[in-house]
Amino acid sequence: MHQLLNAFKPTEITLPNGKKVLEPKSPVLLYVLLVLALTFFFIELTGFNLQTIQRRGHQFFVLLENMFPPNGNYAPSVWVPLIDTVKMSLLGTFIGAMISIPFALLASTNITKSKFLILFSRFLFSLIRTIPTLVTALVATFILGFGTTAGTVAIALFTFGFVGKLLYEQIETVDMGAYEAVESMGGNKSRAFAVAIIPQVMPRFLSNTLFCFEGNVRHAAILGMVGAGGIGLIFNTQLALRNYGNVGMILMMMFAVVFIIEVISRFTRSKLV
């Protein structure tokens, strides 16, 4: 016990001139102990058990084996919902990104002078980012009815929070010299913004929006599970009916579409930034 306590006490070093100094111990050991204690507590809480995995681990692959080979005859009925998913991601991303621009302006300290507006728009961004997309999608289906409209709204909200936060951080790091120059030449604020700030933030903004779009296509699959339209809807049905061949086909086609979108988006982003 005594030695354990010593591990946290600073060590005393006597300098050649006889002066004594204390070398503080690094707190790493304390953090490690804290994380270990938390881990044990949480393992107990969740019922984590390696033996179960060893004993029943093979069960994990049963579902995968059932999905292969995918049922090719089902492909024609996958196309429409799949295209719907892409459409709602596209529209939702666009709407969300557009709406985020004015709010991002209000949230940047170098453009907006009012403290209240800055705090308000920042709070709005973090609040919207905090609410899980699943919850917004569920609420949207209650209000707008089942279907792709609800999915589009949920995606737009998520994009708003994600792109908006990155955008105002970007605007704040912009070089303000050009902005001031335009103002001193007699341009008004909106003119100065258009010619001095937009060119600086535009490539990054587009790149972030594209990146968000990539993720949204993946997320859109989950949204369908709560009734917000698109591929998730048929996915849910086929899973419930235990038509695992069809489920495999849906997954394969989804993978292909996501892959194509990622390749295009990555290429475009590498050109942008």
Partner 1 sequence: MNAMQKQLILEPKSGRYKLLIFILILTALLWSSSTLEFSASGMGGAVIARNIFLGIFNPDTAILFNWQNGVPFLLLETLAIAFVGTLVGSILAIPLAFLSSQNVVGRPISYVTSLFIMAIRTIPVFVYGLMFIRVTGPGPFAGLLTMALASVGMLSKLFAETIEELDTGIIESLDAAGCNGFEKIRYGVIPQLASDFLSTVIYRFDMNIRDVAVLGLVGAGGIGAPLIFAMNSHRWNEAGAIIIGLILLVFIIEWLSTRIRKKLARG
The site map against partner 1 for 128-147 (x = CB under 8 A) is --xxx-xx--xx--xxxxxx
Residue 21 backbone dihedrals phi, psi, to 5 degrees:
-125, 155
Residues 225-244 touching partner 1, rule: CB under 8 A, are 225-226, 229, 239
Q: Does 210 bind partner 1 (CB under 8 A)?
A: no
| Beta bridge partners of residue 20, listed in sequence order | 14
Residue 218 binds to partner 1 (criterion: CB under 8 A): yes
Binding flag, residue 195, partner 1 (CB under 8 A): no
- Which of 164, 140, 262 has the alpha carbon at shortest distance from 211? 262
- Look at phi and psi of residue 23 and say left if phi exceeds 0, alpha if psi is from -120 to 50, else beta: beta
DSSP assignment of 63-75, as one string?
Answer: HHHHH-S--GGGH
- The tokens describing 70, both together, are 């995918």
CB 159 within 8 A of CB 92: yes
Report the residue from 108, 121, 148, 216 that binds partner 1 according to the rule CB under 8 A: 148
Radius of gyration of the chain (CA): 27
Nearer to partner 1, 2 or 271 (CB): 271
The answer to the question of residue 257 lying near partner 1 (CB under 8 A) is no
Taking CB under 8 A as the criterion, which residues in 151-190 touch partner 1? Answer: 151-152
Closest contact distance (angstroms) between CB of 149 and partner 1 is: 5
Range list of H helices, 224-243? 231-240
CB 77, min distance to partner 1, A: 18
- Give residue for tokens 């009012």: 114
Which residues in 86-105 contact partner 1 (CB under 8 A)?
86-88, 90-91, 94
Give the residue, chosen from 43, 181, 241, 260, that forms a contact with partner 1 under the rule CB under 8 A: 43
Residue 9: strand, helix, or coil: coil
Q: Please pick, from the candidates 2, 56, 113, 271, the single residue that binds partner 1 as defined by CB under 8 A.
A: 56
Q: Does 47 bind partner 1 (CB under 8 A)?
A: yes
Assigned token pair, 39: 């881990």
Residue 260 is a binding residue for partner 1 (CB under 8 A):
no
Q: How many CB atoms lie within 10 A of CB 124?
A: 16
User: 252: which residues sit within 8 A by CB, 6+ positions away?
Assistant: 70
Determine contact, residues 253/82, Cβ cutoff 8 Å.
yes
Q: Return the structure tokens found at 97.
A: 């990104």
> Should residue 38 be labelled a site residue for partner 1 when binding is judged by CB under 8 A?
yes
Minimum gap (Å) between residue 113 Cβ and partner 1:
26
Site for partner 1 contains 120 (CB under 8 A): no
User: Is residue 193 involved in binding partner 1 (CB under 8 A)?
Assistant: no
Write out the residues near partner 1 by the rule CB under 8 A: 38-39, 41-43, 45-49, 52-53, 56-57, 59-64, 84, 86-88, 90-91, 94, 126-127, 130-132, 134-135, 138-139, 142-149, 151-152, 218, 221-222, 225-226, 229, 239, 251, 254-255, 258
